[in-house]
Chains A and B, each alone.
Chain A
Amino acid sequence: MSNEIELIKDPGLPEHKLRQSDIDPKAADRAERQVAILFGLSALGTVLFIYSYLFISTDLFVFIPLMGEQNVHQLLLGLGFAAALLFIGLGAVHWAKTLMPDHEVIAYRHELRSPDIDREEFVTTAKEGAAAAGLGRRSLIKRSLGLSLGLVGLSPILLLGDLGPLPGNALRTTSWKAGTRLVTDPGDRPIRPEDLEVGAVAQTLPELAPGKDHHSLNDIAKDAVLLIRLRPEEFNLDAERLSWTYQGIIAFSKICSHMGCAVALYEQTTKHLLCPCHQSTFDVTRAAKVIFGPSARPLPQLAITVDAEGFLIAQAPFNEPVGPSFWERSA
């Protein structure tokens, strides 16, 4: 036995096997009929599609077992369309598989790499071109061209300058001011403390400024506030934060301090607020301290009290920006 390692050899392409339709003309005819039936089904699908589009009313519903009450127009239009397309495809593939020649063909790969001589010629041509243009010698041209190209590239960026205004103070301000009434969302009705039982919540917005007839989405995105009433003794707050509550009513920004979803899943039993987007959980009794989830900050608390007429108002604007964090937030 020689010491050389002898590998198992490639037996080569296996012998071609004839199909039923290659041997038996009857099988070939059968295959042809099958293909024709498939194409025919497609045509029927188109007919169903046209019929549904033109003649089936869009408000006809019918009960279909396992599927429930379905809109006939939508369902038949779709099924017709699906059949029209699907059966063309199935027919074509069946045709290719049964009737078209299925001899495997061998093609040879060419080397992707260019021959050395071509490579060399390319390098020479490129070098000659560069030399003819004087790129190497005339450095003044090279440098000034580089400068102008670089500068001209700046202009599109500059042109995008009016995409938006600069942030300015916008992220730090809301519509809440000292004395702004809290009104229901929707409904815009002012709220008295006695309107809320213990365990009650209310979705609120600041009262509309004079001359405005509705809240813009930009305002809601910063102003939305959730009111919750607890028993005052349930709070676990420092003196300042306690003074921001009124008879057990506490107000938080509804805009999540994580990514800005509306946090309003209040669990009366646990006094927890949950954000449905990323499941940050806030403890209402401890000024919305984060007790679970990705948020790193409590929800901003709005200091509230009542005005002379007994309606709930803000004592002061929010003392921190509401909503998600940003780079300059704590600056």
Chain B
Amino acid sequence: MKRLSKYRRHRIVAPLLLIFALLGIGTTFQVAGATTASVMTAEERTKAIAEGKEIFLRGCSSCHGLNAEGSSISPSLIGVGAASVDFQVATGRMPMADMSQQAMRKTPVYNDEEVAALAAYIASLAPGPEIPTDDMLNYERDGSIAEGGELFRTNCAMCHNFAGQGGALTKGKYAPTVMGVKPVHIYEAMITGPQAMPVFSDKTLTPEEKLSIIAWIKSAEKEPQLGGLALGRVGPVTEGLLVWTLGLGLLVGIAVWLTTKAR
């Protein structure tokens, strides 16, 4: 298996891409949008901030307050930065559908430009983490898969599971799967620490190390099923279930056939 690195593209990627496309062009061109945001002229920026404020007042202020100062039910957004807005809104987590639950990934409500405008508005309130640019996200060039694996197992696997499938936290909270998440959003999550997730600072987990983690996640995502059905990649529980259902089921079934009289 010399060329294991050259995994054929996983076929699930195609339908996933299709879904992404259907979800709105916004998601696909997120990074591009982000790039333009960083090279916006002053005039464009002012315009975007104004637009963003309008969107904010319409869609977000009921919970986060008229000036993003937060309320009893939601946190202040002053100083959370553009990266945080991009992560929360472009992955569909915000606006939340149901306050009782943890915000989960779903179809984004706002399109690309609206997200960029919102991000620009929130970033204008106080400085915070910026959306990483395309050049900053070249994980194939700047990241190492093997090193990323080690970093992932030290920093991420305890919540997101060894294969990035997600896992349980306390009181019904959970760490979501990191499979099928765009690199920019993985990066933003690490620098902003959304919801229960802590922040991974650039000094303790350098940008190159973050890219290595992304490189490993993307490699795990593309990894074909080397030993047959992956059974969810969640460890021995599904294996045990399969033995007690299919394994013993087949064997006992055959034992019944073996001991019934032929007609």
Contacts and interface: CB of A to CB of B under 8 A. Distances in A.
The judgment on whether A and B are partners is yes
Interface of A: 17, 19-21, 58-59, 61, 63, 67-71, 74-75, 78, 93, 97-98, 102, 184-187, 189, 191-192, 195-203, 227-228, 262, 264-270, 272, 274, 276, 279, 281, 292
B255 to A, nearest CB: 10
A203 B154 contact: yes
Name the prevailing secondary structure of the B interface residues. loop
Contacts of A201: 198-200
21 contacts: A19-B261, A20-B262, A59-B1, A68-B11, A68-B12, A71-B224, A71-B225, A75-B228, A93-B257, A93-B258, A186-B150, A195-B201, A195-B202, A197-B199, A199-B199, A265-B158, A265-B159, A265-B169, A265-B175, A266-B198, A281-B170
Nearest to A196: B201
**Residue among B4, B169, B226 having the largest count of chain A Cβ atoms under 10 Å:** B169
B7 A199 contact: no
A74 B226 contact: yes
Given A68-B230, A102-B262, A200-B198, A61 B8 contact: yes
B225 A192 contact: no
B253 interface: no
Nearest to A63: B11
Nearest to A100: B262
Name the prevailing secondary structure of the A interface residues. mixed
Contact of A200 (B1, B199, B229): B199
The 3 residue pairs across chains A and B that have the minimum distance between CB atoms: A195-B203, A69-B224, A202-B204
A137 to B, nearest CB: 60
Interface in B1-19: 1-4, 6-8, 10-12
Interface string B185-224: 0000000010111111111111001000000000000001
**Residue among B3, B12, B147, B193 having the largest count of chain A Cβ atoms under 10 Å:** B193
A102 B261 contact: yes
B196 A268 contact: yes
A281 B167 CA distance: 15
A70 B11 CA distance: 11
B228 A20 contact: no
Given A195-B203, A265-B169, 18 more contacts: A17-B261, A19-B261, A19-B263, A20-B262, A59-B1, A67-B229, A68-B225, A68-B230, A74-B227, A75-B228, A184-B205, A185-B154, A187-B206, A196-B203, A197-B199, A198-B199, A200-B200, A202-B205
B106 interface: no
Given A74-B227, A191-B204, A276 B11 contact: no
Contacts of A191: 203-204
B151 interface: yes
Contacts of A185: 154
A276 B12 CA distance: 30
Contacts of A262: 158
A186 B154 contact: yes
